[in-house]
Chain A
Amino acid sequence: MVKSRSDLAFNIVVYVIMGIVLLVTLVPVLFVVSMSFTPYAEVIKNGGFVLIPRSFTLTAYREMLQDGKLAHSMLLTVWVTLVGTGSNLLVTLLTAYPLSRRRMPGQKWVMKLIVFTMVFSAGTIPTYLVVKETGLLNSMWSLFVPTMVSVYNLIIMKAFFEGLPEELFESARIDGATEFGVLLRIVMPMSLPILMTIGMYYAVDHWNTYTNAVLYITNTAKYPLQVVLRAKLRANTTDITADDVVPPETLKMAAVVFATVPIVVIYPFIQKYFVKGTLAGAVKG
């Protein structure tokens, strides 16, 4: 086959796009990471901007880690992330799958009602009262039960299920598979990338949970990670007498690195499933 000129042009376009994206994201990311490791005076000397740290300090990280609350809040957050993501995925999956079957009577209505909750939200106070009535106040469960299903994730999952070829279901049914069997043995294995993606969306939300924690966790000893981190950032800015040895600018950057690390660790494992065509073979059968 002749490598056409258009093929070359195509590759150039692809690499130019990738290059631009890489540049505009890499520079600021480097900036954030470097700044978290560089003494503030050094940053200022450089006109407020460093890409490669020339001198190195861990004070920002030490300042964050020496707080006894941090380790504790991290454990809590890990728990919420694991248990929360698991249950979110399960309920979302169980809701999305039936809704992807358009011939199921009532599908339209349930869908409409669910989408309606996306645009009409009850507001902070009424939701808070329900959380209280259901006994979740001040428990870690309040951090994922009231947000069990995200309509956005549900819709995306449903859209993916709808993309699966209809013949699959037909042949499975002829083989006598139950609906649960179809879901477990056909739909789930074929939807791994989307399940992973949605799972990651949920996990990230839990790892960074903030607003709900501030509202529903009334015992400050049970604050999750992000709340503790932000309290740390605000600590030194409110009273003139507070002494901030580590400038908040540096702390802020370290906090970002902190919040990002887990996802950087996890994503490559998910990326493994993101290879073009992995699913195609299965679908053809």
Chain B
Amino acid sequence: MKRIISLVLMMAMLFSLTGMMTAQAENIVIYGVTDKHAGGIPTDREDDYVYTTIRDKIGVEVILDDLQDYDTALGARIVGGEIPDVMWLGPDQVQNFAASGYLKDISEIKGTEFWNHLLEAYGDNIDIPSNYYDGGMYCFPAAQPLGEQQFEIYVRGDWNEKYGLKVPTTVDELYDYCMDIVSHDYDGNGVIDTIGLTSYGLPGLACITAPYDVGLGNYLLIRDGKVTNSVLQPRMVEALTMLKKFYDSNLLDPGLMSNSSAKATVFSCNVGVSAVKWSNVHKQSYIDQWKAVCPEATYDVIEALDAGEGPRFTIVKHDVNVGDKLAVSADISDEKFEALLKVLDYMCTEEGKMLVYMGLEGRHWNYDENGMIKLVPENAAETNYVHEYQWLGRDEMTYLAAKFPEASKEVAWGLHYNILEYFNTSVIVPDDFNLADMESYINTQLIAFYKGERDLAEYDQFIQELYDSYDFGEYMNLATEQLVALGLANE
């Protein structure tokens, strides 16, 4: 036993030694942390071609760790006085960390040559208010991946064809369509058990409510230059009534509110309408999976629905470029910061951009005869982690078109449509305002309304409760003030 233990001990020590050795280097080393949890950065740094390429080209070593339980782990490091040189932070964290003095004010980059390269490469709409705190800029602007709430509405194309179903164009027609689905055995399994509609929680239900100009939750909207809120919208009760109709007729997937349910339902081919993200259905690996379950199935996107004021289909944030960003430790040395800028500048070049998008030219991708990017499928697994290095974001359309040619139609469809735009991300709420409680109350009550647990006649009373107990009035004033100051609203 003793021998085994000592053997294990020695091996452990050896491992830790090798770990220490890799950290030694002559180049300038920038240490960064991220929580993107991709396929995982290769254990051996020499296998990480993004690292080696940057080291060989720029002479800077970027050591990137993807931490598990990011917030906790990062918090502990900061408390322990070991702030990483660069870190990946959400908008709330940027504000909070900047206020606490953990971050470097990087406004000095404005107007430099790098700044121009940045805007040129990643878009001139990335310099947005949430990057700033008290006049200073505390994270690098970045082009963000598509908005979180994005989804498309899918129906079963094969059923429509086979049974001559009429594709719905209005919310009323959607109701009839779902009714039709649940009362027939279209999948032919001998049981009438098909689900009418599935989606992802409250944001997903916007497929029904967005046509009423309503989102389910605390969404700041601007109508006729005035700041208002989704819960104050004139057609909210109407939208909830419609939703209640869906619910009462058992058309909604009972597991709708849990995030994991929709994907499984779609894969089981047991649903008529699904409002889900293309990335959960139309990636090749997923298509293979659900085609294995039901080879004949096709999921077709449909036009957005109408409820009397033109089609509108989803809710997205106004500032698409709000999201996780790269921030710099306040303690970083000038030398390191300069090196960091060099690395980022490289990421603004076509070559550097392609490196963190797709990997190495020749090995992971090539240009085809039309100048389009074509991936090399055999080596695709090696590119699973590169997006951890997308520190300046990415140009989503080019990126997705090359990476997921199978979903090109669905991706493009989502982008060019009437949407319900909300402005929450442009409003910065002070630390001691209890937004979490307010939003959680709004969500639970909206659910109670459509499920019939609370009478819709009490809707006005609900709004009054928001003002009385949750400082809703103060929140709206705050929002109006800030959105007017940003020039987004008049009053």
A and B touch in the complex (CB under 8 A): yes
Identify the A interface with B (CB < 8 A): 39-41, 44-45, 47-48, 67-69, 72, 75-76, 78-79, 82-83, 124-125, 128-129, 132, 137, 140, 211, 214-216, 218-223, 227, 230-232, 234-245, 247, 249
Interface residue stretch chosen among B35-43, B152-160, B244-252: B35-43
Q: Considering the chains assembled together, what is the distance between the CA atoms of A137 and B68 in angstroms?
A: 16
B 305-346 contacts with A by CB, 8 A: none
B76 A242 Cβ-Cβ under 8 A: no
B201: interface (CB < 8 Å): no
Closest to A76 in B: B12
A254 to chain B, nearest CB (A): 17
Name the B residues within 8 Å of A211 (CB-CB): 69, 72
B 242-265 contacts with A by CB, 8 A: 260, 264
B67: interface (CB < 8 Å): yes
Interface of B is mostly: helix
A218 B77 Cβ-Cβ under 8 A: yes
A243 B380 Cβ-Cβ under 8 A: yes
A238 B36 Cβ-Cβ under 8 A: yes
- 9 A-B pairs closest in CB distance: A41-B292, A240-B279, A214-B69, A79-B8, A234-B37, A221-B19, A220-B65, A44-B268, A215-B76
B 8-44 contacts with A by CB, 8 A: 8-9, 11-12, 15-16, 19, 35-40, 43-44
Name the B residues within 8 Å of A232 (CB-CB): 40
B37 A238 Cβ-Cβ under 8 A: yes
Q: Considering the chains assembled together, what is the distance between the CA atoms of A99 and B470 in angstroms?
A: 52
Closest to B269 in A: A44
B241: interface (CB < 8 Å): no
Name the A residues within 8 Å of B365 (CB-CB): none
Given A82-B5, A243-B384, also A129-B79 (CB < 8 A): yes
Closest to B23 in A: A219
Name the B residues within 8 Å of A218 (CB-CB): 77, 82
B72 A214 Cβ-Cβ under 8 A: yes
A241 B403 Cβ-Cβ under 8 A: yes
Name the B residues within 8 Å of A79 (CB-CB): 5, 8-9, 11-12
A197 to chain B, nearest CB (A): 20
Name the A residues within 8 Å of B65 (CB-CB): 220
B34 to chain A, nearest CB (A): 10
Q: Considering the chains assembled together, what is the distance between the CA atoms of A181 and B55 in angstroms?
A: 63
12 inter-chain pairs at a CB distance below 8 angstroms, sorted by A residue, are: A41-B289, A44-B289, A124-B76, A128-B79, A214-B72, A220-B68, A221-B15, A222-B16, A230-B68, A231-B37, A231-B66, A235-B38
Give how many A-B residue pairs fall within 8 Å (CB-CB).
129
A69 B76 Cβ-Cβ under 8 A: no
The residue that A48 contacts in the complex, of B12, B79, B268, with Cβ under 8 A, is B268
Name the B residues within 8 Å of A72 (CB-CB): 15, 43
B289 A40 Cβ-Cβ under 8 A: yes
B268 A223 Cβ-Cβ under 8 A: no
Name the B residues within 8 Å of A243 (CB-CB): 283, 285, 380-381, 384
A239 B36 Cβ-Cβ under 8 A: yes
B333 to chain A, nearest CB (A): 20
Name the B residues within 8 Å of A216 (CB-CB): 76
Identify the B interface with A (CB < 8 A): 4-5, 8-9, 11-12, 15-16, 19, 35-40, 43-44, 65-69, 72-73, 75-77, 79-80, 82, 145-146, 260, 264, 267-268, 277, 279, 283, 285, 289-290, 292-293, 380-381, 384, 387, 399-400, 403-404
Interface of A is mostly: helix
Q: Considering the chains assembled together, what is the distance between the CA atoms of A97 and B359 in angstroms?
A: 62
Given contacts A125-B76, A242-B387, 5 further A-B pairs with CB under 8 A are A40-B267, A48-B264, A222-B16, A235-B40, A239-B38
Name the B residues within 8 Å of A83 (CB-CB): 5, 9
Q: Considering the chains assembled together, what is the distance between the CA atoms of A234 and B67 in angstroms?
A: 11
The residue that A128 contacts in the complex, of B69, B76, B277, B384, with Cβ under 8 A, is B76
Name the B residues within 8 Å of A220 (CB-CB): 65-68
Closest to B22 in A: A221
Q: Considering the chains assembled together, what is the distance between the CA atoms of A136 and B40 in angstroms?
A: 26
A238 B38 Cβ-Cβ under 8 A: yes
A164 to chain B, nearest CB (A): 28
Name the B residues within 8 Å of A245 (CB-CB): 285
Name the A residues within 8 Å of B260 (CB-CB): 249
Q: Considering the chains assembled together, what is the distance between the CA atoms of A68 and B146 in angstroms?
A: 33
Name the A residues within 8 Å of B289 (CB-CB): 40-41, 44, 247
Given A76-B12, A140-B12, A242-B384, also A221-B43 (CB < 8 A): yes
Q: Considering the chains assembled together, what is the distance between the CA atoms of A231 and B260 in angstroms?
A: 18
Name the A residues within 8 Å of B66 (CB-CB): 220, 231
A243 to chain B, nearest CB (A): 6
Name the A residues within 8 Å of B387 (CB-CB): 239, 241-242
Q: Considering the chains assembled together, what is the distance between the CA atoms of A150 and B290 in angstroms?
A: 48
Name the A residues within 8 Å of B11 (CB-CB): 75, 79
Q: Considering the chains assembled together, what is the distance between the CA atoms of A234 and B39 in angstroms?
A: 9
A227 B68 Cβ-Cβ under 8 A: yes
Q: Considering the chains assembled together, what is the distance between the CA atoms of A172 and B404 in angstroms?
A: 78
Name the B residues within 8 Å of A247 (CB-CB): 289
A215 to chain B, nearest CB (A): 5
A39 B292 Cβ-Cβ under 8 A: yes
Name the B residues within 8 Å of A234 (CB-CB): 37, 68
Name the A residues within 8 Å of B68 (CB-CB): 214, 220, 223, 227, 230-231, 234
A134 to chain B, nearest CB (A): 13
Name the B residues within 8 Å of A244 (CB-CB): 285
A222 to chain B, nearest CB (A): 7
A75 B12 Cβ-Cβ under 8 A: yes
Name the B residues within 8 Å of A219 (CB-CB): 16, 19
Name the A residues within 8 Å of B16 (CB-CB): 219, 222
Name the A residues within 8 Å of B403 (CB-CB): 241
A98 to chain B, nearest CB (A): 27
B39 A242 Cβ-Cβ under 8 A: yes
